[in-house]
């Protein structure tokens, strides 16, 4: 397949904005070269940079040295040790977070204009992670050609291919989450746009970045943060792009009305990357990116055929195929639940729960609106004589991601298991309906709860 250049931008193009200071592509390449010269000889670079520009420089520097970037939005000591044990020779590139493995400080500043460099198309440029079925994160390797193809398709789909727009992408998603990685780390290498370095977690920070950007302003975000942006009345945005969880049509409509910009949505997953998009208020059909195809795999199941990826990737959602590269989602495959951009298997969570000392039986319960309502959380019913809810949560915290920690934990004498020891779907739904209903934390966003 040959080589594909690292960068497809003219040296004078603005590639990033640090606050209101523009950084050109040529200057960026100089920064990449300066950091690359300081990196150790090693196979893997764990990218822990919170600053989006430093994260991008670190990704480029690792590529320049022929190293694979490990993407983890989880910067905890536990995760660092886990990845270093799994990928011997891993070091971290970090910008302030405490490191417990060998590390290099991000942020070497180069001089003049740096040189572009070729990268073999099939070389694995980055590895993303999802919660695996056994508890250990599952790894998903991204060949350089796949990242480039996805970036080109996204640029065409979202109209980020016209240099006259002077587009700036402002991301509220971590650069090391696959969706944030694609939209704010790979896209600027291919499309005539700049990324804003951040941070953009709270609405006021997004508002300031928007105000500082000169041209078309695109905010890459999540349903949870979009809701906060609506509440914060963040003005002046040209388009919003949302992903990581289904966006409720009501929230999309409210955001379009209040913020005065189209709200677009991306469908994808860490395994396959972004593969389709839609404007949520126009209907529930998704349109596949150019070059991507869906292949039916039995009733309602499908796999995505993605340019640059060696194998078709099974979707975790059930789909109904339409014509012309269109499809609808009709349910979740298996027992996966999703929250805060992370996925987990309920069966696995139940197993972890049952392994806690003193727990005789237990089951996680997902509310119906877990994905559509940011305030919704998993709950758990637990049989654990002599133990408290707080003790059970503390024990879970060591093995379960924070977004999946149950709230509430309801202590019961027994679970409604049938003769063969199963909890029927009907009984589970009864347990779910019996959960205390808190005040939906929606404030003035009426009608958003799904």
Partner 1 sequence: MSSTSVMTVLEAEVAALVVGALQLEVRPEEIDPEAPLFGEGLGLDSIDALEMALAISRQYGFQLRSDDERNGRIFASLRSLAAHIEKNRVG
List residues near partner 1 by CB under 8 A: 50, 96, 198-205, 224-225, 228, 231-232, 339-340, 374-375, 389, 393-394, 397, 402-403, 405, 407-408, 438-439, 441, 443
Return the closest-CA partner of residue 264 out of 148, 193, 159: 159
**How far apart (Å, rounded) are the C-alpha atoms in residues 241 and 329?**
19
Q: Supply the minimum distance, in Å, between the C-beta of residue 405 and partner 1.
A: 6
Closer to partner 1 by CB, 58 or 234: give it.
234
Q: Supply the minimum distance, in Å, between the C-beta of residue 374 and partner 1.
A: 7
Closer to partner 1 by CB, 321 or 435: give it.
435
Closer to partner 1 by CB, 174 or 249: give it.
174
Closer to partner 1 by CB, 162 or 401: give it.
401
Contact 177, 217 (CB under 8 A): no
Q: Supply the minimum distance, in Å, between the C-beta of residue 72 and partner 1.
A: 15
**How far apart (Å, rounded) are the C-alpha atoms in residues 217 and 193?**
10
Return the closest-CA partner of residue 341 out of 285, 280, 266, 287: 266
Q: Supply the minimum distance, in Å, between the C-beta of residue 364 and partner 1.
A: 16
**How far apart (Å, rounded) are the C-alpha atoms in residues 90 and 202?**
32
Closer to partner 1 by CB, 63 or 245: give it.
245
Q: 20 by DSSP, 3-state: which?
A: coil
First to last CA, the chain: 46
Closer to partner 1 by CB, 224 or 344: give it.
224
Q: Supply the minimum distance, in Å, between the C-beta of residue 419 and partner 1.
A: 33
Contact 19, 34 (CB under 8 A): no
Q: Supply the minimum distance, in Å, between the C-beta of residue 138 and partner 1.
A: 22
Give the CA distances from residue 134 to residues 141, 290, 315, 392, in Å, rounded to whole numbers and listed in that order.
Answer: 19, 34, 19, 21
Query: What counts of helices (H) and strands (E) characterise the chain?
Result: 12, 27
Closer to partner 1 by CB, 208 or 335: give it.
208
- Tell me the sheet residues that pair with 71: 47
Return the closest-CA partner of residue 222 out of 194, 255, 190, 258: 255
CA angle, residues 107, 110, 116, in degrees to nearest 5: 105
Q: Supply the minimum distance, in Å, between the C-beta of residue 195 and partner 1.
A: 17
Q: Supply the minimum distance, in Å, between the C-beta of residue 92 and partner 1.
A: 18
Closer to partner 1 by CB, 123 or 442: give it.
442
């Amino acid at each position: 397949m040959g080589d594909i250049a690292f960068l497809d931008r003219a040296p004078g193009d603005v590639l990033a904005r640090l606050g209101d200071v523009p950084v050109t592509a040529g200057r960026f390449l100089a920064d990449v070269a300066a950091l690359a010269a300081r990196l150790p000889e090693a196979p893997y670079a764990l990218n822990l940079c919170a600053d989006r520009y430093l994260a991008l420089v670190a990704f480029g520097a690792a590529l320049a040295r022929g190293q694979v970037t490990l993407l983890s939005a989880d910067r905890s000591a536990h995760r660092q040790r886990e990845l270093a044990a799994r990928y011997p020779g891993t070091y971290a590139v970090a910008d302030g977070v405490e490191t417990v493995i060998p590390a290099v400080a991000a942020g070497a500043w180069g001089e003049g204009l740096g040189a572009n460099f070729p990268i073999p198309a099939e070389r694995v440029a980055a590895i993303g992670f999802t919660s695996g079925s056994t508890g250990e994160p599952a790894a998903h390797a991204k060949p350089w050609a796949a990242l480039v193809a996805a970036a080109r398709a996204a640029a065409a789909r979202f109209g980020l291919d016209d240099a006259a727009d002077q587009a700036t992408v402002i991301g509220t998603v971590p650069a090391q989450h696959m969706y944030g990685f694609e939209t704010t780390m790979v896209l600027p290498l291919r499309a005539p746009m700049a990324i804003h370095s951040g941070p953009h977690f709270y609405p006021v920070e997004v508002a300031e970045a928007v105000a500082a950007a000169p041209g078309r302003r695109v905010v890459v975000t999540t349903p949870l943060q979009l809701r906060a942006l609506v509440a914060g009345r963040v003005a002046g945005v040209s388009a919003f792009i949302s992903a990581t969880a289904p966006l409720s049509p009501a929230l999309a409509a409210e955001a379009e009305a209040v913020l005065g910009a189209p709200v677009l949505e991306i469908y994808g997953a860490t395994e396959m990357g972004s593969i389709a998009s839609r404007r949520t208020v126009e209907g529930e059909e998704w349109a596949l990116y150019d070059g991507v195809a869906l292949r039916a795999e039995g009733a309602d199941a499908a796999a995505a055929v993605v340019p640059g990826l060696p194998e078709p990737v099974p979707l975790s959602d059930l789909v109904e195929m339409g014509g012309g590269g269109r499809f609808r989602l009709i349910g979740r495959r298996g027992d996966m639940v999703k929250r805060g951009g992370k996925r987990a298997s309920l069966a696995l969570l139940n197993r972890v729960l049952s392994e806690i000392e003193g727990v005789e039986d237990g089951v996680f319960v997902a509310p119906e609106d877990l994905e559509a309502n940011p305030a919704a959380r998993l709950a758990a019913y637990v049989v654990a004589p002599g133990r408290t809810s707080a003790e059970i949560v503390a024990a879970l915290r060591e093995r379960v991601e924070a977004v999946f920690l149950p709230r509430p934990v309801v202590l019961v004498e027994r679970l409604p298991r049938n003769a063969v020891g199963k909890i029927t779907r009907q009984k589970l739904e009864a347990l779910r309906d019996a959960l205390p209903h808190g005040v939906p934390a929606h404030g003035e966003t009426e009608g958003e709860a799904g």
